[in-house]
Amino acid sequence: MKVFQTLKPGLFTTVQDIGRHGYLKYGVPISGAMDQFSLTVANLLVANNENDACLETTLIGPELQALAEVQIAITGGNCTPEINNHTAPMWQTLTIQEGDVLSFGKMESGCRAYIAVRGGMDVPVVLGSRSTYARGGFGGNRGRQLKAGDVINGFDAKPLLNEHRLPKELVPRFSDYFKANVILGPQAEMFTEKGTETFLSNQYRVTLEADRMGYRLEGSTIEHKGKADIVSDALLPGAIQVPKNGKPILIMKDAQTTGGYPKIAVVVASDLSSLGQAKPSDDIEFSKTTISQAYEKSLQLWRSLENLKRSMKNT
Amino acid sequence: MKPRPKSARYLPFGDSALLIEFGDTIDLEVNRRVTALAEAISVAQIQVEEVVPTYRSLLVCYDPMKITYEQLAFRIKDVEESLERTIKEKRGRRFVVPVIYGGEYGPDLDFVAKSHGLTHEQVVKLHSSREYRVYMIGFVAGFPYLGEVADEIATPRLETPRLKVPAGSVGIAEKQTGIYPCEAPGGWRIIGKTSIKLFDPQEQPPTPLKAGDIVKFKTVSEEEFRTTEGKSLSISTRNTKE
């Protein structure tokens, strides 16, 4: 089913789901939503599977014309959506009519927004996922970002009888300051005590070199004990590499799968989604946590999503 | 008798992965233990999401909602301790990669030859007469890290990496050699090119090679180069030792 005609593509709009898992050993990045929490909620608001494919926008949203009556939900950073030039709410189900134009104003907060369509975006599954990996040129909509004129297809699904809304207290608020919990290691021992202390007690600013692969950060120099390279080993989103210049690099979803810089720490899974909303000149502060504390936080997040799923089934 | 290899180190990698480190150098014995443990974990049916073998370590991704770090480490240690002292590996699958060396295909062949006081032919002979082990796949989708090349042709990377290295390029970086499956930026010394397709996201698996496999390079004519264009790499059945 044809869902949208792309009038304007926006800065970097791609199709993403929860990513391509199981192919790291072949050098294939995970890809998927930079802010997985927002993608999941967008899907739940239109009663999709939580890993269905959505559109991910970056800073400047697209302009899309509906080619059918569809139900959608918009989540993520506050992207000031409009339908036919009238302000439209985020974090809830919306019904739009054939011919309606969905557009976005200024990005008031965060960096990325998610547009879910009832039924999910219909693009081919490549290596188990519908996510776009633009550098590799595969997945999503023809392996690339949206272009003007692209038609987006969606799967047929029964329209919802009820509209859903995410309870206000669960809506994440993004500012220009982010806090993230990390587990030190696996190569924390390659840094001096002072280096680790520097990393944990300062804010790091996202530079212009920030994209789906990762963010180069600027801030106090982190001191290595000796050499600043290792025989390459595996990388995962959330890993923080520190090359010789002492400036950390946060690894994100489209990053290469191996790397030769020591990793001082790794961001815990439950804090990674919000970092997907960090943009150049935002600040990030890293705090040390433990695996058991991280588990408690993941469990909380899992429970609130389960509650959400149940509450939506009941309405 | 060989000394018992020092035991592996178990290190948390965030809250949903465990890194098992066997060493910190490029070493055949270390890499054999990595691939053997990856295999043993799959045989033991331990509940993991994904394992990623690299030169010297194995990354194990898990779902903390299904298994704790301690439970996982305990089960893997058990498997690891049952690995043989010296890994008796089954001989890896063998692949032959057809290559044209030098000229437009290998712009750095001249540099590699000159910096070692060798002729082009000597470099080609040294590079194509060895069997290489796939130590790991990484960097870009389907890029095999192969080792190790003869000391006589080991060459450091370019000081300034190229912005674009064409797909199929065969390069050398120190004692490693590798093949660019797609166009990518890179600093390896490019000595040749293959027309074989090494990565195809529409195939399952997307690349025929995996850690532990054996690769040998074979010089081909322009004509053969064209006939293998876009073909995928298949397991070699004939003995390539000439």
Give the CATH number of domain B9-81; options: 3.40.50.2300, 3.20.20.150, 3.30.1360.40, 3.30.720.110: 3.30.1360.40
Domain coordinates in residue numbering, chain B: 9-81, 94-227
Residue A206: CB partners within 8 Å, gap ≥ 6? A215, A216, A217, A218, A278, A279, A280, A281, A282, A283, A284
pLDDT attached to residue B91: 75
Token pair belonging to B6: 């020092």
* pLDDT at residue number B240: 45
pLDDT of residue B4: 56
User: Mean pLDDT across chain A, nearest whole number?
Assistant: 96
Give the residue on B whose Cα is nearest the Cα of A125: B202
pLDDT at B241: 43
Question: Residue A308: what pLDDT?
Answer: 86
Q: Could you read off the pLDDT of B104-114 as tens digits, one per residue?
A: 999 999 999 99
Q: Give the pLDDT band of residue B83 (cuts 50, 70, 90).
A: confident
Q: What is the pLDDT of residues B201-212, one digit of tens each?
A: 999 999 999 999
- Best residue of B15, B27, B48, B163 to probe chain A, by most A CBs closer than 10 Å: B15
Geometric angle at alpha carbon A112, from A299 and A302, rounded to 5°: 10
Residue A184 identity = L
Q: Any idea how long chain A is? A: 315
* Positive or negative torsion for Cα A146, A151, A155, A159: positive
Instruction: Scan residues 118-137 of B and list those with Cβ closer than 8 Å to A.
Output: 136-137
Residue A39 pLDDT > 50:
yes
Query: Does residue A260 sit at the B interface (CB-CB below 8 Å)?
Result: no
Chain A nearest-CA distance from B191, in A, is 23
Interface check for A261 against chain B (CB to CB < 8 A): the answer is no
Q: B140 vs A27: CB contact, 8 Å cut-off? A: yes
In the numeric block, which tokens belong to residue B233? 């790499």
Statement: residue A99 has pLDDT above 90: yes
The residue-averaged pLDDT of A237-250 equals 96
Query: Could you tell me which CATH number the domain at B94-227 has?
Result: 2.40.100.10
Please give the angle made by the CA atoms of B19, B21 and B24, to the nearest 5 degrees: 135
Beta-bridged to residue A66, according to DSSP, are A4
Inter-chain CB proximity B61 and A267 less than 8 Å: no
Residue range B159-186: mean pLDDT, rounded: 93
Nearest CA in chain A to B202: A126
Domains detected in chain A: 2-170 (no CATH), 177-294 (2.40.100.10)
What b/e string do you get for A132-150 counting C-beta neighbours within 10 Å, with b at 16 or more? bbbbbebbbbebbbbeeeb
Q: Which of B13, B18, B20, B58 to mutate to test the interface with A (most CBs of A within 10 A)?
A: B13
Most confident range (mean pLDDT) of A35-39, B2-6, B232-236 is A35-39
